[in-house]
Structure 1
Amino acid sequence: MEFLHQLWLQDERWEVGQPAIVDSSAAYQPQQLHDQSGQCARWLQGLGVRPGNRVMVVADASFSSICMLAACSMVDATFTIISPEVPIIRRSTIVNEIEPTVILVDSLSAVAPEFLTLDPVFRRYQWSVTSLTGVDVFRTRAVGTDAAWIVFTSGSTGKPKGIVMSHAAVLSFWDGLIAHMQPPLGSRYASLSPLQFDFSLLDIGLCLGSGTTLYFPNRLLLHKPTQLLKVLSQWGITHMSSVPTVWKLMLKLCGKDISEFTSLKRIVFAGEHFPAEHMRSIHDQLPGVDFYNIYGQSESIACTFEVLGPRYFLSETPHAPIGKGHRAIEMMLWDSDGRRISEPDQIGELVIRGLPLFSGYWKLPKETATRLIDDPAYPEFAHKVFKTGDNCYFDVQGCFYFVGRCDNQIKVNGNRVELEEIERHLNAFDGISNSCVLTVGDGQDTELHAVVVVQVGGQSPQSLEAQLRAHLSGVLPGYMLPRKYHLREDIPITANGKNDRQKLKSLLVLD
């Protein structure tokens, strides 16, 4: 098996009558997935798409969009997915970067009209297409090391950064994921992430590669948590995959209704910290549910999977365990001098090696060279390791724990501070649904400001601030205590569901 469509389109994995995909419009059988993917592939070839070309797909997750992604794999085209909600400036930047042969737009999505040049031949698939001047490539056959997709994330310079993943890397990851999770027969798995987020691609590979029915709720329901919960319950969902922000909203707006979601057995999450307080609230209503923490970077999709049971969220553990890594990778810690850390409970940068690593950053060779470096254990060969930029430590059993980003590690009066550590303690305070710690000033003048979202009102800002100060003073040293507090109804998040620190800073007066 060399290509992602070969994993997705294996009909023998499915029981008779079991749908492969259910979206807001209908349920689709495995044979329909196989047949329509083939039709889409032939259509792409008719448009002039050739091996090595890039195809931009502007769409939400649905049966139709999955067929199109499979078709790209079948013709050996590299796809880039853009959410219909992405602003035109960012979308145009990505178009200029990858120079796609075609841009495919799901006409059912709410998308700006500048890409909607309708092709009548393809209207029956409810897609539209814009042809561009693609870059010729020189390939005569496809191989597994060809690029399967380019996923764009926020770059440190403010410009989107493309992460190139090969078929071989993706399949190696999915192999480790399927072996580790092994959804039971009859599982119903709901994916709530936007299609452009590689967490969604993780869900697709897991389900279609293991014979698990994949459900795509209408993403508009994310703004209507009560209705979303009702739909998931009606579908009999057993596994729900989303960023924790989705659960924060449901707990805030329809928390008492969660007890009716009796079919749910596992909550799968990634991308951000899941507050232990929220896990406890869900567990109180659904005692049989466990929490599956998927940790990693887009450069490897993910690297660890760990079940968090009551022993974690009913205790006062400061950091969530992330596991030991799946079978296709090795995880290690390096100190600031690049030496491997062999003793437990010492913080260092997480470095990983193995087949599931990305090929490089699109058109960024210098940045690629700083993160994807030669393996010092094998300097004579072309083996690479990836410096993740994450600070972690491991315990005596070899289980790793995430501490925070290296770039969110700052110095306050000469002391090292992890912003995520302060946020964890803020999120643990009763009534706080989200928080974000920002820095103001530089060097010796650096100050910490805490932005918090209150789940339950009824008290003055001054009273809440005093309680938060007392709470943090009991668990953190003085240099880690925020100087000022800002109360907001929400915190802006990125398209991938994470706190948007830069946008938040622009919305506040920090002095």
Structure 2
Amino acid sequence: MQTNILDWLEATSARCPDAPAVGDDKTDCTWAQLADTARRAGSFLASRTMPRRPVAFYLEKSVSAFAAMLGTVYAGCCYSVLDTRQPAARTLQVLDTLTPALLVTDEAHAAAAAALGYSGQIIRLDDLLAAPADAALLVNRRRQAVDVDPLYINFTSGSTGVPKGVTVSHRSVLDFIPQFAEIFGITQNDILGNQAPFDFDVSVKDLYTALYTGAKVQIIPRAYFSQPTKLMDYLADHEVTILVWAVSAMCFVSIMNGFSYRIPSHIRQVLFSGEVMPIKHLMKWKSALPHARFVNLYGPTEITCNCTYAILPDRDFAPDEALPIGCAFPNEKVFLLDENDALVTVPGQAGEICVSGTALALGYYADPVRTAQAFTQNPLNTNWYERIYRTGDLARYDESGSLYYIGRRDFQIKHMGHRVELGEIEAAAMRCDAVTRACCTFDAERQRLHLFYTGSCEKAALLAALKESLPPFMQPNTAVQLDEMPLNKNGKIDRTALAALTKKGAHK
């Protein structure tokens, strides 16, 4: 029985020690090298920390960073990767919640880490990786480990302004990743093109699918997602076969006409998540990669990456067609509850997506109040303790039982006496040929709808087109053309930043 993700690392490094494990733009390492480096890092950490303590990482993703993260696990601890681009004040908020045993940084970020004002010990990555291995110490740490120990803590934005540390156990990853790899046929012959930063849970699918199957992870530098020619060359030259990407990263490629420069023809499968995929961008990808399989994934960080998937049919999609989010992964129960906590089964009726199963996170780190609000007893079950996660997302079934995402419960507003889904306004705007991205916000105080978009479409033309396709109560009061959409740390459109623009009068 596997109880720790290190079981996968050791099995894979024993099976194919000289096979490539992970690479970045500067270096590569084999599975044997990765395991050896992780043990040395683990020995260093175990001599300085107690088991089950978090270790924070303040650096960019790299081969060395991944090895050190695995070293944290060897030490019997859990890791939390911090976003180096976020304001120092937010990083300190995270550190105050986390109270990590150590903060690990590299030479490039050492000065910024020192300037944070963190009172704990700061360790250099090079020192961590150069330490000698202590086999006896690692054996002792491993003996006390259990499968419900935390593996990683990912901090997401909170509605109160305080970040939430989603804490995920070994058991949840051990449960989800084998299903993920089997359903999508990922093997040791694949090369996963890692787009997501290590503080974002999309990267969990890259890193641990590789650990489980022996596939290689090819880490794509963050900077390449503003340099389309470098990105396409990198994908093609490294013969990447699998992409598990955020929707915003895919839209970057299609908006910047990356495929007109070079097509990475080895890609056989594209799995996307994070936001609703605009049909016009999906069709550009399908046209460039006609033999690839496309998969729509759904699920928040709190349920270990994803809880549903839809393998898309090999056909064109109409501009106004909604993509399904499909069916539940094995060993995950996904169901809808209405406003009165009654089960929703009728096709077309909206309900909140709720999830139960082993893949649920342990909760929010050091935050029992918000944990209790989101992780609750299943109201449909009065016979035993069945913990569920309430996602806050709305969905509906079609006649065949497939799920379709509607939008955030928070984004369903009341305007002019009508219930309005902001996502429906955005979808209507995206059907205009010269609009590349769209996002709608609602000023409840002034009862005004503000549409933000990118593309070459004139404002007057866009508003005129929306008058033809939307009822009066859904027509935006203003349209704001942007050079690019602001994105949050997870690569999603930052609605808070857009709302701030309206307060500054940018909509006038």
Q: Do these two structures clear the TM 0.5 threshold for a shared fold by scoring above it?
A: yes
Cα contact 1:103–1:115 (8 A) shared by 2:
no
Match of 1:176 in 2: 179
Partners of 1:121 and 1:332 lie apart in 2 by 44
Match of 1:131 in 2: none
Show CA shifts across 1:476-501 (max 9, x none): 32211111111110121101101111
Partners of 1:216 and 1:121 lie apart in 2 by 18
Which letter does structure 2 place at the counterpart of 1:348?
A: G
Residue 162 of structure 1: SS of its match in structure 2?
Answer: strand
Normalised to the residue count of structure 2, the TM-score between the two structures is 0.90
Instruction: Within 5 Å, give how 1:276-287 maps onto structure 2.
Output: 276-287=279-290
Match of 2:90 in 1: 90
Partners of 2:115 and 2:81 lie apart in 1 by 14
> Could you tell which deviates more after superposition, 107-116 or 50-59?
107-116
Residue 299 of structure 1: SS of its match in structure 2?
Answer: helix
Residue 469 of structure 2: SS of its match in structure 1?
Answer: coil
Show CA shifts across 1:271-301 (max 9, x none): 1122110111222232222322221011002
Instruction: Within 5 Å, give how 1:487-502 maps onto structure 2.
Output: 487-502=481-496
Matched, 1:71 2:71: yes
Show CA shifts across 1:85-110 (max 9, x none): 22211111111111111001133458
Match of 1:485 in 2: 479
Match of 2:404 in 1: 401
Matched, 1:101 2:95: no
Show CA shifts across 1:297-349 (max 9, x none): 110021112222443x5224542211111002011111110000122221111
Q: 1:265 aligns with which of 268, 280, 295?
A: 268
Q: Which runs of 5+ in 1 are unaligned?
A: 128-138
Cα contact 1:188–1:239 (8 A) shared by 2:
yes
Instruction: Within 5 Å, give how 1:67-466 maps onto structure 2.
Output: 67-108=67-108, 112-114=112-114, 122-123=126-127, 125=129, 141-257=144-260, 260-300=263-303, 301-311=305-315, 313-316=316-319, 318-442=321-445, 445-454=446-455, 457=456, 464-466=458-460
Match of 1:135 in 2: none
Normalised to the residue count of structure 1, the TM-score between the two structures is 0.90
Residue 10 of structure 1: SS of its match in structure 2?
Answer: helix
> Could you tell which deviates more after superposition, 158-167 or 170-179?
170-179
Which letter does structure 1 place at the counterpart of 2:311?
A: V
Partners of 2:89 and 2:281 lie apart in 1 by 36
Match of 1:38 in 2: 39
Matched, 1:506 2:500: yes
Partners of 1:418 and 1:230 lie apart in 2 by 40
Cα contact 1:9–1:33 (8 A) shared by 2:
no
Cα contact 1:13–1:210 (8 A) shared by 2:
no
Q: 1:374 to 1:281 in 2, by over 3 A?
A: same
Which letter does structure 2 place at the counterpart of 1:180?
A: I
Show CA shifts across 1:255-286 (max 9, x none): 45355322222222211122110111222232
> Could you tell which deviates more after superposition, 358-367 or 30-39?
358-367
Partners of 2:101 and 2:308 lie apart in 1 by 35
Equivalent pairs counted in the alignment come to 490
Which letter does structure 2 place at the counterpart of 1:308?
A: L
Give the C-alpha shift of residue 122 in structure 1.
4.2
Cα contact 2:106–2:126 (8 A) shared by 1:
no
Q: 1:375 to 1:505 in 2, by over 3 A?
A: closer
Cα contact 1:107–1:126 (8 A) shared by 2:
no
Show CA shifts across 1:459-492 (max 9, x none): 7xxxx22332343234332211111111110121
Residue 20 of structure 1: SS of its match in structure 2?
Answer: strand
> Could you tell which deviates more after superposition, 265-274 or 251-260?
251-260
Give the C-alpha shift of residue 154 in structure 1.
0.4
> Could you tell which deviates more after superposition, 280-289 or 32-41?
280-289
Give the C-alpha shift of residue 185 in structure 1.
4.9
Q: 1:262 to 1:111 in 2, by over 3 A?
A: farther
Partners of 1:370 and 1:268 lie apart in 2 by 31
Give the C-alpha shift of residue 13 in structure 1.
8.1
> Identity of paired residues, percent?
26
Q: 1:19 to 1:280 in 2, by over 3 A?
A: same
Cα contact 1:59–1:109 (8 A) shared by 2:
yes
Q: 1:377 to 1:440 in 2, by over 3 A?
A: closer
Partners of 2:40 and 2:122 lie apart in 1 by 18
RMSD between aligned residues: 2.5
Partners of 1:126 and 1:505 lie apart in 2 by 47
Matched, 1:476 2:473: no
Q: 1:140 to 1:6 in 2, by over 3 A?
A: closer
Which letter does structure 2 place at the counterpart of 1:478?
A: P
Partners of 1:201 and 1:37 lie apart in 2 by 17
Which letter does structure 2 place at the counterpart of 1:3?
A: N
Q: 1:249 to 1:496 in 2, by over 3 A?
A: same
Show CA shifts across 1:119-168 (max 9, x none): 689447389xxxxxxxxxxx982211111121110000111111111111
Q: Which runs of 5+ in 2 are unaligned?
A: 132-141
Match of 1:24 in 2: 25
Match of 2:135 in 1: none
Partners of 1:338 and 1:276 lie apart in 2 by 33
Q: Which runs of 4+ in 1 moved over 4 A?
A: 12-17, 108-111, 115-122
Cα contact 1:239–1:266 (8 A) shared by 2:
yes
Partners of 2:442 and 2:403 lie apart in 1 by 28
Match of 1:58 in 2: 58
Partners of 1:284 and 1:121 lie apart in 2 by 43
Give the C-alpha shift of residue 421 in structure 1.
1.9
Which letter does structure 2 place at the counterpart of 1:340?
A: L
Partners of 1:235 and 1:34 lie apart in 2 by 23
> Could you tell which deviates more after superposition, 209-218 or 317-326?
317-326
Give the C-alpha shift of residue 360 in structure 1.
1.5
Partners of 1:335 and 1:13 lie apart in 2 by 50
